[in-house]
Amino acid sequence: MTDRFTLPDLPWAADALEPHISANTLGFHHGKHHAAYVKNLNGLIDGTDLKELSLEEIMRKTSGDDARKGVFNNAAQIWNHTFYWRSMKPGGGGAPTGAIASKIDEAFGGYDAFKSAFHKAAATLFGSGWAWLCDAGGKLEIVQTKDADSPICHGKKPLITIDVWEHAYYLDYQNRRPDYATTWLDSLVNWEYAQENLERADVTV
């Protein structure tokens, strides 16, 4: 079998986000969890017509299809993780500037109100999932998705995301998901990536 998908490299060194997210966390999160989704999907689509499609096409084709739930979950988790790594950078965080800042002001009435709402979405999502800032038809909104689900399957364009599955933070923050979300907003979020996505017609990874 020839692998259709490969594990993308992290966009920075594995220790580059310390002390906020440790190399130990990323070793498991990228090297084990993300890698497992890639391995699983390659096995599930081998010998099927899905192997000819892009990751986004596989996600949209299998979204909501109970018979292909495993394919969807692994494909979407590959996409979501690649997007999550790019949503962070060393020295990131704080309030954005430029067009993305204006769009946030327009939608939420200011950065502080956005930050409070995004933090709440990340902290309160029950169980495993993701919190996103999305462009929904020209207006920004905060979206929560459960498990592997992704806004690209619901007509919304993601700009950034935070992974709130326990495996994303438990080694560094244990049960303190709100502290992880605060640190993510203050020290990690990559607003340049959000700006690039805002300008794209369609976001792919």
Q: Which residues bind Mn ion (CB under 5 A)?
A: 163, 165, 168
Residue 137 CB, nearest approach to Mn ion (Å): 28
* Cβ distance to Mn ion smaller for residue 36 or 117: 36
Using the CB atoms, write b or e for 88-114: b if 16+ within 10 Å: bbeebbeebeeebbebbeebbeeeeeb
Among 120, 123, 189, which residue's Cα sits nearest to residue 161?
189
Residue 188 CB, nearest approach to Mn ion (Å): 14
Residue closest to Mn ion (Cβ): 163
Residue 172 CB, nearest approach to Mn ion (Å): 13
- At residue 201, φ and ψ (nearest 5 deg) are -70, -40
* Cβ distance to Mn ion smaller for residue 34 or 156: 34
Place of tokens 């090297």: 31
* Cβ distance to Mn ion smaller for residue 32 or 139: 32
Quick one: DSSP state of residue 94? S
Residue 193 CB, nearest approach to Mn ion (Å): 17
* Cβ distance to Mn ion smaller for residue 25 or 195: 25
* Cβ distance to Mn ion smaller for residue 59 or 168: 168
Cα torsion angle, 153, 156, 159, 164, sign:
negative
Residue 168 CB, nearest approach to Mn ion (Å): 5
